[in-house]
Amino acid sequence: MIEVVSASRCVTCDVCIAVCPTDVFDAGTDGIPVIARQGDCQTCFMCEAHCPADALFVAPLTHPAPPGSPFRDEEHVTRTGLLGSYRRELGWGRGRKPGARNAVGPELGRARITPAAAESS
Amino acid sequence: MTTTALDLTADVVIVGGGPAGTWAALTAATAGADVLLLDKGYCGTSGPTASGGTGVWYVQPEPAAREKAMASREALGGYLQDRRWMARVLDQTYENMDRLGAEARYPFPVVDGRAFKGGLQGPEYMRRMRSWIRRAGVRILDHSPVTELLVDAAGTVAGVHGHRRQHHTGYRVRAGAVVLATGGCAFLSKALGCDVATGDGALYAAEAGAAMSGMEFSNAYGIAPTFTSVTKTAYYGFATFFQQDGTPLAGAGSQGGRSVIAAELLRAGTVLCQIDQATPEQQAQMRSGQPNFFLTFDRLGINPFTDKFPVTLLLEGTVRGTGGIQLVDDDCATSVPGLYAAGDAATRELICGGFTGGGSHNSAWAMSSGTWAGGGAARFATALGASALRRRLTGAGGVALRPTGGASYGGDPGAEAKDVLRRQVHPYDKNYLRHGDRLRPALDELDEVWARLRAGATAEPAATPRLRQAAAMVAHARWMYTAALARTESRGMARRQDFPGLDPAQRRRLTVGGLDEIWVRPESAARPELAVAS
């Protein structure tokens, strides 16, 4: 779920309010969007992908991160390079090459069925 | 609906802004129609394609390749597909994917000097579709859930009511025709991008008199790391599954072994997984192919290729199942005049039979059926001429809008409905590992909550879309289970523990419909196309 809106990075463009498919954000009085309905977040990472300032961080959990979680810590997600990492992978943003250009996955063969323990060794 | 603040007109209204809706809008606008697209969320991000990305059933127009593509899944689908529809979907998809490259400048990867069109990255695809339809003159209202269809005196669909949730106002659109491209129903399971897919269109279609088809094929569950949303099952084809103590979970697999995972999750609560069958080269290809697959792992600090991590199964219902609104014509017309359906909102039995349409088939279907529905709706609207705007309109919606009375609702009807769905539809031992002895009581409880909703549930205008959504999910579940009980065999993905065998006499599609009283019957007209090519 969405956990971090960085006030220092936010450029108050309101794109996240517009693009969130489940209407999680409200406009804040200071221009910084507010996570108003976190419970409706479907953890689709779309707000993060569309944020032009890499100001949003979506934790990879379908429930709110507990108090003290590093996922709620802007300093942590910035230092570890997680903030803005999805947009980087998508190749969105000035001077980047669209990630779609490289999007060729492996050939998918017949799915593997896990063998029994005795046979697997 | 009391006051209507915004009063609009359009030749064609498209409900839903995923791939099916945007292709429908593009086609209708190109045909000269004035098109209004209404998205419950935001056209460009809402729906499983935008966040998930997708393979595409894109096959070169060579007879042998086409024959192989059509034949390959007929047995899996229980021979319920229609070869004529499969062929036209392959043709239309081929054309649309080429247009996507040429006209929308989609940046296809280049493999061996050729554009690779076997898949689409979701965010890029849907962002481009939005720009493309805007260039074509389509008007878009985001965050504007439709709440009901409007019909004229003859029962022809003639517009919609809705609510603009970020503007706190209702709206009405008078239209010549309506395309429902609202997606399937995943019951708010938090599967990737699926929470906007709550079966709303199916409810609206049924209220106007349409029927459903393929609803028993509704038991798709996607694999995701526990407590996460990213259900991208394909790459688990390279995985080994384990019990909690690390011993291999024999028989488990992403295809053909998912029921073993479900049974172990029910029994022990934990299944571990490791994607240990991918070569280093394949691992690198996975990362460039689907970066969002790695979002979860990178953020949780898991190396999925070397670490064992817990997985769960999230309900994808008719998003990856194949059930939806029944179509009666090649232009994706429903049985209700003026109403068209496309994408996951429509049945995908025609090309998938009873086997999951997930990924490539659904995406091919979305762009093909969207194209046809948009064209059909534009032609219908044009034929009406100016008389379209003079019709007297009535709201077709029932549940949560026009209570039948009797008992007024105590508590919170939406919350109660969601609770019933959590208990009776999400669990693996009800919807997935199906048995009549468990389906029947589940259906009874769903019928009961429906009756209570129908009699007494209402909401303030701002809360109406949510309550209608809850009612749509309950209706969807009742059609699913009614059809599942009627199919007393195991065919395609509709398996019954009490009827494990395939019954040749049941090789026919089931039609299901109704709201207060649900009916189910075999599809009437015998279709010669159903015959399987040898």
Residue A81 lies in a domain: yes
Q: Which of B389, B468, B534, B427 is nearest to B9 (CA)?
A: B389
Here the CATH number for the domain that contains residue B471 is 1.20.58.100
CB within 8 Å: A100 and B121: yes
For chain B (534 residues), the mean pLDDT of every run of 10, in chain order, is: 76 98 98 98 97 93 96 94 97 98 97 94 97 98 98 98 96 98 98 97 98 96 96 93 97 94 97 97 92 95 98 96 97 98 98 88 98 98 90 97 84 92 97 98 98 94 96 98 98 97 97 98 64 38
Q: Check if A118 contacts B (Cβ < 8 Å).
A: no
Residue A57 lies in a domain: yes
Check whether residue B276 and residue B378 sit in a common domain: no
DSSP of A89-120: HHT-STTPPPGGGG-------SPPBPPPHHHH
Check whether residue B46 and residue B156 sit in a common domain: yes
Here the CATH number for the domain that contains residue B366 is 3.50.50.60
Q: Check if A59 contacts B (Cβ < 8 Å).
A: yes
pLDDT confidence of residue B482: 98
Check whether residue B282 and residue B153 sit in a common domain: no
Residue B408 lies in a domain: no
Number of domains in chain A: 1
C-beta atoms surrounding B87 within 10 Å? 16
User: Could you tell me which chain A residue has the CA closest to the CA of B189?
Assistant: A42
Asked if B98 and B65 count as a contact pair (C-beta separation under 8 A), the reply is no
Backbone angles phi, psi at B237, to 5 degrees: -65, -15
Cβ neighbours of B254 in A, within 8 Å: 111
DSSP of B271-287: -EEE-TT--HHHHHHHH
Any residues with CB less than 8 A from the CB of A88 and at least 6 apart, and which? Answer: A96
Asked if B139 and B112 count as a contact pair (C-beta separation under 8 A), the reply is no
Check whether residue B366 and residue B276 sit in a common domain: no
CB within 8 Å: A115 and B248: yes
User: Could you tell me which chain B residue has the CA closest to the CA of A49?
Assistant: B123
A46: nearest CB among B50, B239, B251: B50
Number of domains in chain B: 3
CB within 8 Å: A21 and B41: yes
Check whether residue B44 and residue B146 sit in a common domain: yes
Q: Check if A114 contacts B (Cβ < 8 Å).
A: yes
CB contacts < 8 A, A to B, total 179
Report the C-alpha gap between B198 and B182 in whole angstroms. 8
Residue B69 lies in a domain: no
The residue segments making up the domain with residue A43 are 2-93
Task: Provide the Cα torsion B126, B129, B135, B137; round to 10°.
Answer: -100
Residue B91 lies in a domain: no
Give, for B148, the enclosing helix (H) or strand (E).
Answer: strand B146-151
Residue B361 lies in a domain: yes
pLDDT confidence of residue B4: 54
Check whether residue B21 and residue B161 sit in a common domain: yes
Residue B400 lies in a domain: no
Q: Hey, what are B448's tokens?
A: 């009961």
pLDDT confidence of residue B525: 54
C-beta atoms surrounding B308 within 10 Å? 16
Cβ neighbours of B111 in A, within 8 Å: 104
pLDDT confidence of residue B147: 98
C-beta atoms surrounding B533 within 10 Å? 8
Asked if B487 and B496 count as a contact pair (C-beta separation under 8 A), the reply is yes
Residues 125-144 of B with CB under 8 A from A: 125, 142-143
Residue A44 lies in a domain: yes
Residue B127 lies in a domain: yes
| Residue pLDDT, tens place only, A40-68 | 999 999 999 999 999 999 999 999 999 99
User: Could you tell me which chain A residue has the CA closest to the CA of B314?
Assistant: A62
A114: nearest CB among B230, B235, B248: B248
Here the CATH number for the domain that contains residue A19 is 3.30.70.20
Q: pTM score, two decimals?
A: 0.96
User: Could you tell me which chain B residue has the CA closest to the CA of A77?
Assistant: B299
Angle made by CA atoms B288, B68, B112, in degrees to the nearest 5? 35
Residue A110 lies in a domain: no
Q: Is B452 helix (H, G, I), strand (E, B) or coil?
A: helix
Asked if B42 and B143 count as a contact pair (C-beta separation under 8 A), the reply is yes
Q: According to DSSP H, which parts of B240-326 are helical?
A: 258-268, 280-289, 293-300, 317-320
A117: nearest CB among B120, B247, B253: B247
Q: What is this model's ipTM?
A: 0.96
Residue B526 lies in a domain: no
Check whether residue B307 and residue B418 sit in a common domain: no
Query: How big is chain B, counted in residues?
Result: 534
Check whether residue B342 and residue B212 sit in a common domain: yes
Check whether residue B42 and residue B143 sit in a common domain: yes
C-beta atoms surrounding B52 within 10 Å? 27
Residue B75 lies in a domain: no
Per-residue confidence at A117, pLDDT binned at 50, 70, 90? confident
> Which of residues B317, B333, B366 is at a domain's end?
B317
Q: Check if A23 contacts B (Cβ < 8 Å).
A: yes
The residue segments making up the domain with residue B301 are 220-317
Check whether residue B233 and residue B299 sit in a common domain: yes
Check whether residue B49 and residue B138 sit in a common domain: yes
Check whether residue B363 and residue B491 sit in a common domain: no
Q: Hey, what are B290's tokens?
A: 């689907």
